[in-house]
Structure 1
Amino acid sequence: MDVISRTFLPATTEAGVVIPSRHLPIVERCVDADDDAVLVARCTRPEAPLSGDHLLLLTRRRLVVIQKTPVLHRLRLHLNANLRHLSNVTWRPDLTRPALEMAATAVDGVRERFRMKFADTEAVWRFEGVLRDVFLA
């Protein structure tokens, strides 16, 4: 069983995210076969609101963000980073919307920010717990 069917697809189902099959080759190239997906979510970049839709995939070892361009709907790998190479990782739940904003500094010194929106506050706390387990454990 490959990483896609074993962990990525169940994580998308848990998050309530429908992923087109054209995302899968990018995920397969970025994630090792023994690295489990722990969080999948659609997100936006607050500093670039017109940059298109993004898909955030967090595993135990990697953070992968895939961008879908707004006009032509092309997929582009925005970020593929080993978690050890990320610094100053922070997140902040926003229960009024409900959403969660995550930020991290990549190895090249660029500060990346991602905002994930959820259906309810329970999902915010569940995803916040996953981030705590991965980054603070």
Structure 2
Amino acid sequence: MDVISRTFHLAATDAGVAIPSRHQPIVERCVDADDDAVLVTHCQRPEAPLAGDHLLLLTRRRLVVIQQTPVLHRLRLHLNANLRHLSNVTWRPDLSRPALEFAATAVDGVRERFRMKFPDTAAVWRFEGVLRDVFLRPSA
């Protein structure tokens, strides 16, 4: 089993997210086998609340977002970006709900926004720490 398969399922379990196995082929096409998953969670796009559920996968090198359409539950790749090609990456914890809003500008200039909901504020801070580690760590 390659690194992404092991870490994808481990990150999903850590987040308490049940991931159907049909997401795996999309993940395998988008992410290198040696790139480890650090965050997996369900999210929604605030500007398109009826667009269906999204699965956000963050690795050390890529951001992959898979959309599941609301009616037919078909999977569609929404975003597949190298982290170096993202600009103006921001996130904002919302402890009153508890949630976290993540935004980044893709290489095509489109501003992507995602809202992740969590069961408690401890989960918000854990995910915020992962984002800080991935996006604010010094380059090697």
Cα distance in 2 between the residues matched to 1:61 and 1:126: 19
Task: Answer yes or no: is the 8 Å Cα contact 2:102–2:115 preserved in 1.
Answer: yes
Write the letter of the residue equivalent to 1:30: C
Q: Which runs of 5+ in 2 are unaligned?
A: none
- Structure 1 residue 24 displacement after superposition: 0.4
Q: Which runs of 4+ in 1 moved over 3 A?
A: none
Question: What RMSD in Å do the two structures reach over aligned CA positions?
Answer: 0.6
Secondary structure of the residue aligned to 2:24 is helix
- Structure 1 residues 7-86: aligned runs within 5 Å: 7-86=7-86
Q: Which runs of 5+ in 1 are unaligned?
A: none
Cα distance in 1 between the residues matched to 2:13 and 2:72: 26
- Structure 1 residues 80-95: aligned runs within 5 Å: 80-95=80-95
Task: Answer yes or no: is the 8 Å Cα contact 1:99–1:117 preserved in 2.
Answer: yes
Q: TM-score, normalised by structure 1?
A: 0.98
The aligned residue for residue 101 of structure 1 is 101
Task: Answer yes or no: is the 8 Å Cα contact 1:4–1:24 preserved in 2.
Answer: no
The question of 1:111 aligning with 2:115 is answered no
Query: What is the aligned length?
Result: 137
Give the fraction of aligned pairs with identical amino acids, expressed as a percent.
Answer: 88
- Structure 1 residue 6 displacement after superposition: 1.8
Q: TM-score, normalised by structure 2?
A: 0.96
- Structure 1 residue 21 displacement after superposition: 0.7
The aligned residue for residue 2 of structure 2 is 2
